[in-house]
Structure 1
């Protein structure tokens, strides 16, 4: 099977995994929102950055290093497994001891116990890093679906019940812990690899030389992604932080999981042809066109229908989060292009450029946040949109130098799709306004209108992109081998 066919199958299976698990996640989040208040989500937001940093320290780039290696031995897997386990225990210890200081910073005493319990997730997740890496190397995302979907369903159902009987924020903490435990147990069932007693410092050094730069890049990304929550929680209130965190969670459930699917699949697929620049560029170009077609429409159509979706599915207490959600969706438009560009750097083994690029982008993000936070939350969100588009330039510059797929060529590939999507989304938003008497009918009509007009517009004005998408779907459905 060709790279294109393998990548397409992998993306669709991985997207199916994300769609199923995140579909459950959306449902669970909507149900939790009926029983919990914004302040509960605000508490989760406050500790999220520290849990994410602990998880990043636990992984330390070992998963990406295992995926990138052309030939992986049992010793490599064992070494990564024990390293992740030790790093997971260390991360938990740091968070356990730091909990009082974090609670003091936010002036929220409840955070001490919440952080100490929720951080156990890091230790649990350290047992699955190698399993995920092994399955990802095989592009076996179907097996990962067998682990993630039941875990999401069981943990989500449990958390809704706990929220219903007034456990408050602990319902979300229990969901996180239970999901990690069940998913890890099922991954051990679907993946046959088992650790032995091998360990090699030379293997650690080889993987860490590549992975530590990704780790520091990941730390920068986590800090700056969550810096908005930190600033909002500190400068404004737990309530406003809860609204922002809830809106961002909904956006990630709908949008970011597709981006993660792209990263999870394109990285091992492109890594398999890392020494063939011609095939690498061809695959990269096709992925850019396909993913922007899917994500641009998904993001802007969702933003256009945010008001009826929130008002139909959620209590009125969440209505103030609607503009947060819409602006965050727009800010995520360039995410697929960012993720694919970064994968090229990882495939080429340029984790040094990866880190350098993250420093540049986060410096830009920090300066814009510094300039906007004093004016209000909406100004902070507008700044996120601006930085998302600015950061496309350094992202694409480095990948273009490695492949010869320049910034202008990339813009020519995705800009027409972006324009079409924006026009169609605007049409859908205006069409919804005509149905003032029935919000549900307006949402259904606008959804159908946007999908139909979008497909026709792409067929007429972007025939190459339309044919590429159709070809990918046929490859997945027929499972034919292509040269």
Structure 2
């Protein structure tokens, strides 16, 4: 009876986590998408290019200040107030120190890119990670205690408020400053939300002894987070030196949109994967079953979503942000292909973290980052399109590295990988190709766009019903159950 109760409790936690995480991701990404369209219609590629040049400094500083403390807190068996308090003051101290260093380094950054305007712009934008440092311990509290709803509300409100401010300034003619204000205000609102919902309140007791225990795990996460942020933002840092701000600007929004689509899935799954897998760590057979469902669910959604966006990229860009951004469509297509495979790799990486193997997680992220940097540095003469295509291809291949790294810790065979991942990639690819050729002759832009999506969705459902009906039946049964309960 207790086992059944535990199963029901686990299923309830997983379901609530997936529902709240999924709802949050969908709402936040669509809000971000809508606000992004309004900003894109007003700002230029040069505006985006300027801010993109300094983004990597902010995200790296954020990684340094967080130092993996969130995951370190989650993986601790028992957490007391002194642990959160130590994380709070350490994060604030690191954040303040790094901001001061970057403040005085701003002229060197501007000199590197030969853009004098970056001095003041970077000093202002760097406030985003300093404000964020005040909410790291509170975010760790919410994450450890599976306060997913509270994190959803915080992120959504921060997104709405910051983007409203950014759009207002953009339409008042503040150009790239509007984008910068949006970034800083989002960080501030997010921090305030974490404080509001978290029961933890810092005290002026400076006991940093818990940091030593956390650092054994979190130090590896620190290095990992640095390279994760490098991997996502390295294009601007390296290419901004060798290409114009306009050329760079055309890659910014496609990269952001592909990451937004990917985040709908990864945020949903990340909210439950690590805590749930740790909870059933002693039941190996059950862990395999749960993991297979998680990775199948991710692949089932990731490939049609991102391959579908690749299929309609040209029409999508024209409809949303007008023809002046048409050059960015090819980048959106390339980024989306890599993001689809990266979404699945994320589930493997969460498994590795749940096993406490942060050194393996770190190694895979670092090696990937170094290879990506090597491609961008040594291949800069190939042109932006080819460089991004190569890094996207690396993303697709890296799933095999994650699989090989996870295999020693779970009896997950290569046959499972084909069944749970690549079968959905093939079915999604077939569906999208069929939709493209079936609607290519339609002259009306809007009708072609809508028809391509409709045909792709119908084709994907049909091929899954024929070749892989189990996941469709599970999802259908689950939603029927939810409706009946209501």
Question: Shorter-chain TM-score: what band?
Answer: over 0.9
Write the distance in 2 (CA, Å) between the matches of 1:302 and 1:365. 24
**Any idea what SS the aligned residue of 2:222 has?**
helix
Aligned partners of 2:236, 2:371: CA distance in 1, in Å?
A: 17
1:133-192 Cα shifts (integer Å, max 9, x gaps): 222223222112221222211211111111011100010111112222222222222222
> Which of 166, 175, 178 is matched with 1:168 structurally?
175
Residue 175 (structure 2) pairs with residue 183 (structure 1): no
Distance 1:475 1:396 in 2: 34
Q: 1:446 aligns with which of 426, 449, 452?
A: 452
Per-residue deviation at 1:209? 0.9
**3-state SS of 2:281 partner:** coil
**Structure 2: distance between partners of 1:393 and 1:287:** 17
How far 1:278 moved relative to its partner? 3.0
Q: Is 1:249 matched up with 2:256?
A: yes
1:75 is matched with which residue: 82, 85, 92? 82
- Name the TM-score, length of structure 2 as normaliser: 0.94
* 1:459 has 2:451 as partner: no
Match runs of 1:245-284 below 5 Å: 245-284=252-291
Could you give the per-residue CA deviations for residues 289-319 of structure 1, whole angstroms, max 9, x where no partner exists? 0011011111011111111111112122211
Q: Is the 8 A contact 2:22 2:265 kept in 1?
A: yes
Question: Hey, what does 1:236 align to over in structure 2?
Answer: 243
8 Å Cα contact 1:5-1:475 kept in structure 2 = no
Following superposition, the deviation at residue 11 of structure 1 comes to: 1.9
The structure-2 alpha-carbon separation of the partners of 1:218 and 1:411, relative to structure 1 and needing over 3 Å to count, comes to same
Determine the C-alpha separation between the residues in 2 that align with 1:363 and 1:387.
Answer: 12
Moved more, 416-425 or 462-471: 462-471
Q: Are 2:100 and 1:88 equivalent residues in the alignment?
A: no
Residues 61, 471 of structure 1: alpha-carbon distance in 2 compared, 3 angstrom cutoff: farther
Aligned partners of 2:262 and 2:343 also within 8 Å: no
Which deviations, in whole Å up to 9, do the C-alpha atoms of 1:330-356 show, x marking residues without a partner? 111211222111112211111111222
> What's 2:475 paired with?
469
The aligned residue for residue 320 of structure 2 is 313
**Range with greater deviation from structure 2 (283-292 or 64-73):** 64-73
Counterpart of 1:155 (choices 158, 162, 184) is 162
Which one of the candidate residues 28, 36, 40 is aligned to 2:43? Answer: 36
Quote the Cα distance in structure 2 between the aligned partners of 1:226 and 1:168.
Answer: 21
Q: Closer, same or farther in 2 for the Cα pair 1:432/1:198, shift >3 Å?
A: farther
Task: Report the CA distance shift for 1:161/1:69 in structure 2 as closer, same or farther (over 3 A).
Answer: same
Q: Using the alignment, how far apart are the partners of 1:135 and 1:473 within structure 2?
A: 28
Task: Please say which of residues 227-236 and 153-162 is displaced more in the overlay.
Answer: 227-236
Q: Distance in 1 between matches of 2:362 and 2:471?
A: 32
For residues 398 and 130 of structure 1, the distance between their equivalents in structure 2, rounded to whole angstroms, comes to 30
Identify if the C-alpha distance between structure 1 residues 472 and 345 changes in structure 2 by more than 3 Å, giving closer, same or farther.
farther
**Rounded Cα–Cα distance in structure 2 between residues aligned with 1:476 and 1:342:** 30
Q: 1:99 to 1:476 in 2, by over 3 A?
A: farther
How far has the Cα of 1:31 moved from its partner? 0.4
Instruction: Report how far residue 457 of structure 1 moved.
Output: 1.6
Alignment deviations for residues 382-432 of structure 1 (CA, whole Å, 9 cap, x no partner): 202221122112211111111121344212321111111001111222233
Deviation, 1:205, is: 0.7
1:116 positional shift = 0.8
Q: CA deviation at 1:2?
A: 4.0
Q: 2:439 aligns with which of 432, 436, 443?
A: 432
1:48 to 1:474, Cα distance in 2 relative to 1, 3 A:
farther
State the partner residue of 1:324.
331
Structure 1 residues 216 and 471 mapped into 2: Cα distance closer, same or farther (>3 Å)?
farther
Matched, 1:207 2:244: no
Of residues 347, 350, 359, the one that matches 1:352 is: 359
Q: Distance in 1 between matches of 2:483 and 2:134?
A: 34
Q: Is residue 2:109 matched to residue 1:102?
A: yes
Q: Alpha-carbon deviation of 1:374? A: 1.6
- Return closer, same or farther for 1:405/1:472 CA change in 2, 3 Å cut-off: farther
Size of the aligned set, in residue pairs, is 479
Provide the C-alpha distance between the structure 1 equivalents of 2:70 and 2:484, rounded to a whole number of angstroms.
32
Matches within 5 A, 1:394-405: 394-405=401-412
Q: Within 5 Å, give how 1:379-418 maps onto structure 2.
A: 379-418=386-425
Q: Is 1:262–1:336's contact at 8 Å kept on the other side of the alignment?
A: no
Say if 1:136 and 1:268, in contact at 8 Å, map to a contact too: no
CA contact 1:8–1:476 (8 Å) conserved in 2: no
Cross-structure match for 1:226? 233
Give the SS at the match of 1:334: helix
Q: Cα deviation per residue 1:185-240 (whole Å; 9 max; x = unaligned)? A: 22222222222344443310111110011111111222233222223211221111
Q: Which moved more, 1:325-334 or 1:120-129?
A: 120-129
Q: Which runs of 4+ in 1 moved over 4 A?
A: 471-480
SS in 2 for 1:71: coil
